[in-house]
Structure 1
């Protein structure tokens, strides 16, 4: 019998409105075969998680039927002054609790507690958390005006829909319970349960994170839109929640988190690094019906619902160095590469780095390729292959 995740993946790739040319969902393996999909066995990943096939990594979540959103537990905490904090949990340095709660385990987050980058939290007798600092204002109206064609990125005007104060980071350190680090993005702040109780209707994004599709405090659940990308050739879905950069926060439609500035970048494979690398491209192929579509110009100019289709480094079951904090490396195809017809979709870190090494991708403006200094908080949710 096929797994629910395989069925969901197949549903996406067999004629729904979501199955555009640029979707990353794998097609059914029956294409070109003499037997229907129903005669084929379950995906190998159902037998061994490292093998090919769909796999839910953030097991605390439930994937929607269309494969585009995830429902997660909604937690309620408070600031020291009593203001309500609504948040989710996605990753932790506590491997035992990661297994127990269905979270992603990330050893690298142990090194994310530098400067303001992790908010102190205290565990109370009732099981709630009290946060010592870091707040978010969701009232700003999200806005992005693309630049002038063909350079749609960077945008000419931008505003993130959620803005954290200088002490806001999604990371927390529970000071009286082992000092473990958790990835705990705030999805609503200083608002009562009845004002955000949108279990069956669209939420008010003046009060909640812009990626929230439904929020149900009475059931303690929240449904969030996912973003597609690639890791070592494997398509995946992740949550995009925060960035330390105002432009990226607006383009990604996430919360601006200034305290992430204190996370060290540029050393993702070195000792004591809290980050993994994410690779994006500015001027990739454009056109919603183009199977090679990719990049920031396309995300803005094509108004692509799948975004730029970024390339991520290591994710769980693929590598051991996963972190939800991604050090953004921004690349640009050179005029020489474009004239030679080399520009295409990239789906693997080493494929990308090989092209950089040959000089066909540089940092924007022909500058030396490397870390942009931008961090995005993107917890992985599921692997599609």
Structure 2
């Protein structure tokens, strides 16, 4: 009897123990499920083990991958920061040990560049001019061959608006001479003596004598138009823009620098021309050294500018029509420095950096001037390319603004050249 009662009692309470054990097990399992598997367990060791709604091996590999990616990003940021700090430290060390200007001036920063002159006409008088750039490859090649001095291709010049151009007539036959096509010299419709209409950038009209006509020298636009009315020649507009700065014109010429001694610190003031020889048909400019967008060496001359203040200071032609390029793609950005490391730049600090150079699709001789100022000049670094400018701008170490001397749009005609050709 007692044995029977004990057996019945055990059978009665067994389900209670079973439920309790089941609940305890489920609670522990849920806790483990939520906890997952530590990063010390990965790979095949996690095969088939469930962490939440996926295999623990999946969770672990993604976690490790994320950790590695974050670590690489941190290492790159630390490396970039170290490089920038090193560059600052180097510049600071130079400024502390010696005069930074004497160390960081570029060698051969200012050199003479002799360029062939062409003879043309305006209103019956003689004009002497140079040809430095062409929007068209054919004209660039033809003129380069004829004058034995390289004319650079500047495709962007074709975008210049009509109000930024002057007109020139080019002869394709007739009297042999000094013109682009080896016939008489070009006829211009303006000179720097008429600053409101003059531009070194010229659109062109081809002048062709008809069969049976008697070719002769035509030295003014009026003479050309009169000959056309008589049926002696044809006029054909050409879709090409040439950079043809005038050096000598009937009422004047570009300023010739009095002190012709060139040094790495030769100032930009007082003229850009060293010599004009109309007999030998050459002009010698000062070629200034700077940096291209990728850090390569560039040389450029200065022929004209707007507004009048900077033009007069540099001793170049005042060309107000250049201002029509301020928002046009025919002009490109150049960056000059207003403080920081002393050097051979036009403002007495490091040399400037151009956003385009010879051979680039975005090369143009027409510069839109931007100025760079260091927020902390004592910690200025030497910048050599556009990438440097962007890096320091993004780091908040420099300010960049559009130059507006005399509260006016500022454009400078600075053809890039090879002064050693």
Which of the residues 100, 110, 114 maps onto 2:158?
Answer: 110
Q: 2:364: which partner in 1?
A: 323
| Structure 2 CA distance for aligned equivalents of residues 211 and 67 of structure 1 | 11
| Structure 2 CA distance for aligned equivalents of residues 97 and 279 of structure 1 | 30
Number of corresponding residues: 257
Does the Cα contact within 8 Å between 2:299 and 2:418 map onto a contact in 1?
yes
Q: 1:154: which partner in 2?
A: none
Q: 1:276: which partner in 2?
A: 332
TM-score using structure 1 length: 0.60
Q: 1:216: which partner in 2?
A: 277
Which of the residues 168, 190, 194 maps onto 1:121?
Answer: 168
Alignment of 1:338 onto 2:377 = yes
Unaligned segments of structure 1, at least 5 residues: 1-19, 27-65, 138-163, 203-208, 268-272, 287-292, 300-307, 364-368
For residue 239 of structure 2, give the secondary structure of its aligned residue in structure 1: coil
For residue 227 of structure 1, give the secondary structure of its aligned residue in structure 2: strand
Does the Cα contact within 8 Å between 1:214 and 1:224 map onto a contact in 2?
yes
| Structure 1 CA distance for aligned equivalents of residues 419 and 291 of structure 2 | 9
Cα distance change on mapping 1:249 and 1:91 into 2, 3 Å: same
Query: How far did 1:383 drift?
Result: 8.9
Query: How far did 1:68 drift?
Result: 0.7
| Structure 2 CA distance for aligned equivalents of residues 314 and 279 of structure 1 | 11
CA RMSD in angstroms comes to: 3.1
Structure 1 segments, 4+ long, off by >6 Å, are none
Query: How far did 1:310 drift?
Result: 1.3
Alignment of 1:238 onto 2:281 = no
1:248-259 matches, cutoff 5 A:
248-259=310-321
For residue 354 of structure 1, give the secondary structure of its aligned residue in structure 2: helix
Cα distance change on mapping 1:295 and 1:212 into 2, 3 Å: closer
Query: How far did 1:344 drift?
Result: 2.6
For residue 418 of structure 2, give the secondary structure of its aligned residue in structure 1: strand
Rg bigger for which structure? 2
For residue 247 of structure 2, give the secondary structure of its aligned residue in structure 1: strand
For residue 162 of structure 2, give the secondary structure of its aligned residue in structure 1: coil
1:54-133 matches, cutoff 5 A:
68-79=111-122, 81-100=123-142, 101=144, 102-115=150-163, 117-124=164-171, 125-126=174-175, 127-133=184-190
Cα distance change on mapping 1:333 and 1:23 into 2, 3 Å: closer
Which of the residues 215, 223, 242 maps onto 1:182?
Answer: 242
Does the Cα contact within 8 Å between 1:276 and 1:326 map onto a contact in 2?
yes
Unaligned segments of structure 2, at least 5 residues: 1-101, 145-149, 176-183, 207-236, 261-269
TM-score using structure 2 length: 0.55
Cα distance change on mapping 1:24 and 1:168 into 2, 3 Å: same
Does the Cα contact within 8 Å between 1:284 and 1:296 map onto a contact in 2?
no
For residue 141 of structure 2, give the secondary structure of its aligned residue in structure 1: helix
| Structure 2 CA distance for aligned equivalents of residues 253 and 352 of structure 1 | 30
Which structure carries more helix by proportion? 2
Which of the residues 203, 218, 224 maps onto 1:173?
Answer: 203
Query: How far did 1:259 drift?
Result: 0.8
